[in-house]
Amino acid sequence: MGFWAKLKEKLTKKTNQVDQDEPILQQDEQTEEPVEQIKEEQKLDPVKKSEKKDQVVKQENKEEKKVKKTKTSETETKKQAKETLKEKKKREKQKEKDKKVEKAMLKSAFSFSKDIKKLSKKYKQADDEFFEELEDVLIQTDMGMKMVLKVSNLVRKKTKKDTSFENIKDALVEALYQAYTDNDWTNKKYKIDFKENRLNIFMLVGVNGTGKTTSLAKMANYYAELGYKVLIAAADTFRAGATQQLEEWIKTRLNNKVDLIKANKLNADPASVVFDAIKKAKEEKYDLLLIDTAGRLQNKTNLMAELEKMNKIIQQVEKNAPHEVLLVIDATTGQNGVIQAEEFSKVADVSGIILTKMDSTSKGGIGLAIKELLNIPIKMIGVGEKVDDLLAFDIDQYIVHLSSGFMQGDDSEN
């Protein structure tokens, strides 16, 4: 089994687990005589009658226990059925999410697969000229020169013994995966650092226009839907309309499922908003505090001062917080997004990327570029305009959907 097949199998197990048959509880086989039969067979002999009476009482007690056991079994069956239904809904929701990611990746996958297929027709085996053209194709995905060379070198190593194009394609998929994950099959370190039984504090940063405030609202919905208590701190006091945008989202799109702390005036000190939010979150036992911040990267000095002040206030309450500093980047901006990531990483300890508008780009490699250049992984992706279109990033999904066009032998486009 090749690498792509293994990766697809892994993804399938996560999103399409085999339904387990509901347990069928069988009645115990009846080995004793029925109570009525025993009664009918009673004799007039007093001794026998007494023996039969004792037998009847014992049998009645036994059947009473059996009835109780049956009722308990029925309760357990209903409970198991309820849990099975819950699991089924979870699986269906996961499949739904996977379809959304697949749809969002269509433009990138189509463009990438089309170029790889052209190479497969032009070259039957890998040589230096082939690798030059492969690197050109990879550059077109916006994954950045550093990642391109890393992937190209990995493919070269993996195809030394077998230079057939079938092996090259599989090696390319493995190289992309390996380059992003450093060969970590579990991907645990790329997940959002959300933990039970603590106040999780996440800060979102990013330039205006990337969808930062919208992503924050969607993220609030993501966790509220899971049953967590969520509070938003509207600490972008610089942009007129930022707080109103959040208020509108909470009222019309989130059905007031989350709460908001805001400043009483424009250009108020963002740190004071964060202070009030943390106080409320601790007192009222919230699970998650999401902090919106100003997106004026052009004035780095002021932004850095703001972020440092907010961090100090946060760390007075939670030493290891913020638990996530998530940079929101528009996937359609290409290499400009990489520049934003570089600049923001200078003023904030960015722990992850939220990549928005993945459904609107044919160049889905920007996340790979940022990961390679700055070692900042993608944590979530925006795949549409709906409130539930912000999803946890899954590298398995990403690689499978990006490469499925040329790995599954779809020759509909050349």
Binding residues: 206-213, 292-296, 356-359
Residue at 320: amino acid letter = N
Nearest to 399 by CA among 83, 86, 102, 70: 102
Exposed / middle / buried, residue 54 (Cβ in 10 Å: 0-12, 13-18, 19+):
exposed
**Which is it for strands 378-382 and 288-292: parallel, antiparallel or unpaired?**
unpaired
Region class of 50: left (phi > 0), else alpha (psi between -120 and 50), else beta = alpha
147 and 177 in contact (C-beta within 8 Å)?
A: no
Annotated binding site for GTP: 206-213, 292-296, 356-359
Instruction: Report d(CA 372, CA 147) in Å as an integer.
Output: 6
